[in-house]
Amino acid sequence: MKRTRQAVKAEYPVLQTREETKKQRTCFYGPVFGKSHMQTLDWGSLPHHILLCIFQFLPLVDRAWASSVCRRWNEVFHIPDLWRKFEFELTQPATSYLKSTHPDLIQQIIKRHANHLQYVSFKTHFASALTVVFINSKSLSSIKIDDTPVDDPSLKVLVANNSDTLKLLKMSSCPHVSPAGILCVADQCHGLRELALNYYILSDELLLALSSEKHVNLEHLRIDVVSENPGQVEFHTIKKQSWDALVKHSPKVSIVMYFFLYEEEFDAFFREETPVTHLYFGRAVSKAMLGRIGMNCPRLIELVVCANGLQPLDDELICIAERCKNLTAMGLGECEVTCRGFIEFVKMCGGRLTQLSIMEEVLIPDNDYNLDQIHSEVSKHLGRMWFPDMMPTW
């Protein structure tokens, strides 16, 4: 007996009509397009601007796979706006899917779209990817390089192709770059406004190059001072004349320094006047060092000390309040300050302290003030309500 189509489908649910299969590849986009557009849409018919947003969240290799889904997705893959900004974070372990991706594919993708790149971030062990971008790009304006084997020849290629457009360069954990390599960038990229680098490649020659008449005013200079092996690194000293030249050329420049040193390694710093504006100490810093900061950092705006010894810092803080007239932010972690000394510091700074973060454990009660009185006295001098931070209990 001849069975009907419905009976066959009931017995073999895998056998579906072409129309039903097509319906399964569609989905509802009512919440996106509004109630008036409550209809099923094929993935291939999504508007370009929505597909572009989706593609922007995909890693490099995933973009390549997605571009092979259909012709429309491939068109979006080649839109220049998709390649204005990109992060090359190709650091997956050898067991990941990247192991099966041929390096030539990555290079072909980058080479084809490098001329569209403007803002790029590198965090990759694939030096070839970085080289391909530098060789083929002509309009890079912002570059961030972290833990990548960039070297002096690579920077020369970068400068040769992007000297007129480069405005921001941030480098971290790039041990193959020398002071001469970064000096080449400063000499040729006269439009550079923001620079971040490790202290070991900072030099007097670099500051003078950034201060030349051809160079635009530098807006932001970040310097990371890091030591992993105490006693094995000898830090050089930057001359006061070099700092003065930079500030004279760029009077509004923010100079930010992050210190991750041990106490015995600070000898080379702040012995002369230094125009630093923001200071962050990630490890213990001595009383003597804080005293030098108060004496020689008149442009200081923000100071954060994560740790100190067990000696009160009253005199050092009062010196900083007296001489650092631009100070507006202070943070203290594992330190000690008497309540009276802290109130005197706040009184001298007054309402200009817009940010004041002090752990309650830092404050030592004395004969004049206890912890119950501290918040009202400090609030009075700040002109707003203030309380010390509390140590979280887990």
Q: What is the CATH number of the domain that holds 311?
A: 3.80.10.10
126, 175: one domain? yes
Using 50, 70 and 90 to split pLDDT, how confident is the model at 127? low
Using 50, 70 and 90 to split pLDDT, how confident is the model at 41? low
Q: Which domain holds residue 353?
A: 261-393
pLDDT, residue 238, reads 96
Q: How far apart are CA 333 and CA 329, in angstroms?
A: 14
255, 338: one domain? no
- Judge whether 364 lies within some domain: yes
100, 190: one domain? yes
Using 50, 70 and 90 to split pLDDT, how confident is the model at 1? very low
Would you say 60 and 86 are in contact if contact means Cβ atoms under 8 Å apart? yes
Helix-strand-coil split of the chain, %, nearest 5: 45, 20, 40
- Highest-confidence range of 111-125, 154-168, 247-261, by mean pLDDT? 247-261
Report how many domains make up the chain. Answer: 3
Report CA Rg, the chain.
29
- Judge whether 12 lies within some domain: no
pLDDT, residue 347, reads 94
pLDDT, residue 93, reads 44
Would you say 359 and 333 are in contact if contact means Cβ atoms under 8 Å apart? yes
Both tokens of 337, joined, read 């300050």
Domain end marker among 38, 65, 81: 81
- Judge whether 357 lies within some domain: yes
389, 321: one domain? yes
Q: How far apart are CA 111 and CA 136, in angstroms?
A: 6
Instruction: Give the SS3 label for residue 35.
Output: helix
**Best CA proximity match to 307, nearest among 326, 324, 290:** 290
pLDDT, residue 240, reads 96
pLDDT, residue 24, reads 44
pTM for this one? 0.79
Q: For residue 251, is pLDDT > 90?
A: yes
**Best CA proximity match to 243, nearest among 296, 302, 181:** 296
Q: For residue 177, is pLDDT > 50?
A: yes
Least confident of 4-8, 58-62, 72-76: 4-8
In the chain, the percentage of residues whose pLDDT exceeds 90 is 41
98, 242: one domain? yes
Q: What is the DSSP letter of 224?
A: E
Task: State the CATH number of the domain containing residue 61.
Answer: 1.20.1280.50
Across all residues in the chain, what is the average pLDDT? 81
Alpha helices (runs of H) in 103-234, residue ranges in sequence order: 103-113, 127-136, 152-162, 179-188, 204-210
Question: Residue 62 phi/psi, 5° resolution?
Answer: -65, -35
Least confident of 199-208, 230-239, 314-323: 230-239
Determine the longest span between alpha carbons in the chain, in angstroms. 106
- Judge whether 360 lies within some domain: yes
Q: How far apart are CA 321 and CA 119, in angstroms?
A: 40
The H or E element spanning position 380 is helix 371-382
The H or E element spanning position 144 is strand 142-146
**Best CA proximity match to 223, nearest among 252, 194, 245, 249:** 194
Residue written as tokens 């009907």? 4
Q: Average pLDDT in the 53-72 region?
A: 82
**CB proximity list for 148: less than 8 A, separation 6 or greater:** 122, 123, 124, 125, 127, 130, 173, 174
Both tokens of 359, joined, read 């752990």
pLDDT, residue 9, reads 44
pLDDT, residue 104, reads 66
191, 126: one domain? yes
- Judge whether 25 lies within some domain: no
Would you say 389 and 359 are in contact if contact means Cβ atoms under 8 Å apart? yes
Instruction: Give the SS3 label for residue 130.
Output: helix
Using 50, 70 and 90 to split pLDDT, how confident is the model at 205? very high
- Judge whether 30 lies within some domain: no
- Judge whether 26 lies within some domain: no
172, 215: one domain? yes
Residue of 227 and 233 predicted with greater confidence? 227
- Judge whether 129 lies within some domain: yes
- Tell me the per-residue pLDDT of 142-155, one tens digit each, with 9 for 90 and over: 989 888 788 899 89
Q: For residue 327, is pLDDT > 90?
A: yes
92, 217: one domain? yes
Where b means 16+ CB within 10 Å and e means fewer, 26-43 reads: eeebeeeeeeeeeeeeee
Least confident of 104-118, 151-165, 198-212: 104-118
Provide the terminal-to-terminal Cα distance of the chain, rounded to the nearest Å: 74
158, 135: one domain? yes
62, 204: one domain? no
Least confident of 31-45, 225-239, 350-364: 31-45
64, 179: one domain? no
Using 50, 70 and 90 to split pLDDT, how confident is the model at 48? confident
340, 298: one domain? yes
Least confident of 115-119, 166-170, 285-289, 327-331: 115-119
